[in-house]
Structure 1
Amino acid sequence: MSRKWERMVRKNTKTTNKSRQKSGQPRISEIQSDGSVTLKGRSWFLPMLLMATGVFCLISFRGIAGQDNLYWITGISYIFLAVLIYYVRRPFIKIGKNALTSRRFGGDRTIEASQINEITVSKDAVTVQIKPKGNRWVFTRLYNRFQMDELSGKIKEFAAKNNVALKEE
C-alpha cells in the first residue's frame, strides 16, 4: 500500500474507534501493514524491586521523617515508578516477515532473519541466538510473562519461512 493510503486507513480507523468506544462497542484493532504480529508480556522483576525499595524507605525513615517530607516523597516516588513500569513498559516481541523486534534495556532492537544463528524453543522459554556477537534474546514464561504456546507457534512459523535453524527441547 502507498503511504497516503496507509495514513488514510489509520485516520479512519482512529475516528471509527472513537465513535465505537462512545457507543460501547469493541474497538477495531489496527491492522499492521507489514503483516507482523506483536506479542506482549508483563515485566515484574524491576517493579517488584522498586516497590521493595519504596516500602523500605517508608519504613526505615519513619521516625526521622517527622519534620522533613522529602523522605515520604522519595518512598512514594519509588512506588509510583514501580506501578508505572509495570503497567506501561511491557516487554514485547514483534514477529515480522523477515525480522524480529524486541524491547531491550536501551530501547527497541530489530534483527533480520539473516542475523539469526538459531532459535531454541522449550516448554518455558524461547531463545534467539544472534550471529555477529553470539548474543541471545531470551523470552520466558516466568520472567517476561509471555504466552508460550502462542509465542512458540509464531516463532516456528517465522523460522520455517526464513530458513532459520530451529531446535526444540
Structure 2
Amino acid sequence: MSRSWERKVQKNQSQLNKQRKKEGKKPLSIGSSAASAEPAVETFKGRSFIFPIFLLMFIGFYISVTLRSAVYAQTGAMFWVTIACYVLLAVLFFFRRPYLSIGKEFIRSRRFTGDKSLYKVAIKAIVVKRGYVIIEQQKGGNWVFAQATNRFPTDQMSEPLRIFAANNGIPFVEK
C-alpha cells in the first residue's frame, strides 16, 4: 500500500507542477523528488575565437594557393563544398562556447573532445593567477581557463572555486 500511495502522490505532484508551470509559479518539491533534484551548478561561459580565426586563415591560404595554380581549372564543385565546410566548422566553433560549471563535488567543462567532468578526488589543486584559472588533475593535463584566449571571466570564477576547494579539501593557490 505504501508504494502505491507514493506513486499516487508523485502522479498528483507532477500534474500540479505542470499546472503551476503554466501559471508561472515555482514547482512544488516534496519528499523523494526533492532529494533527486540536481544540485545547483554555477556556470561561467567564455568565447572561443582563436581556432575559428585559424580556420578562416587556413581557408584563405587554401583558396589563394589553389586559385593561383593550374589545378584550379580541374577543380569542380567539391572545391567550394570543402571551403563551405571549413567556414561552417569555424562558425560552429565560434558559437559553441566553452564553459566551466562548478557543482557541489565536481567541475565540468567543454574540452575539444566533448564535455568532461572532474570529481573532487581527481583534482590535485586549483591555481588562480591574474587572467588565468588552472585546475591541476591527479592524472592527465591541466585545465587552463584564460581570459585572453577564451574570454573567461576569471575574476568572477575565483570566488566560487575558492569555496569549492574549501568544501572539498582541495589546495587553493592564488598567485
- What TM-score do you get using the length of structure 1 for normalisation? 0.75
CA RMSD of aligned residues (A): 3.0
Identity %: 33
Between the aligned partners of 1:126 and 1:42, the Cα distance in structure 2 is 15
Q: Which has the higher helix share?
A: 2
Q: How does 1:98-109 map to 2 (within 5 A)?
A: 98-109=105-116
Between the aligned partners of 1:11 and 1:145, the Cα distance in structure 2 is 41
Between the aligned partners of 1:11 and 1:47, the Cα distance in structure 2 is 45
Q: How does 1:119-130 map to 2 (within 5 A)?
A: 119-130=126-137
1:45 deviates by 2.0
Pairing partner for 2:86 from 66, 78, 81: 78
Question: What CA deviation, in whole Å up to 9, does each residue of 1:132-160 have, x standing for no partner?
Answer: x2531111111221011111122112112
What SS does the aligned partner of 1:61 have? helix
The aligned residue for residue 160 of structure 2 is: 154
The aligned residue for residue 114 of structure 1 is: 121
| Paired positions, count | 150
The aligned residue for residue 26 of structure 1 is: none
Sort the Cα spacing of 1:166 and 1:46 in 2 relative to 1 into closer, same or farther, 3 A.
same
- What TM-score do you get using the length of structure 2 for normalisation? 0.72
Contact 2:41/2:102 (<8 A) preserved: yes
Gaps of at least 5 residues in structure 2 are 1-9, 25-36
Question: What CA deviation, in whole Å up to 9, does each residue of 1:118-141 have, x standing for no partner?
Answer: 11101111111112x253111111
Q: How does 1:18-97 map to 2 (within 5 A)?
A: 33-63=38-68, 64-66=71-73, 68-87=76-95, 89-97=96-104
What SS does the aligned partner of 2:136 have? strand
1:60 deviates by 2.1
Gaps of at least 5 residues in structure 1 are 17-31
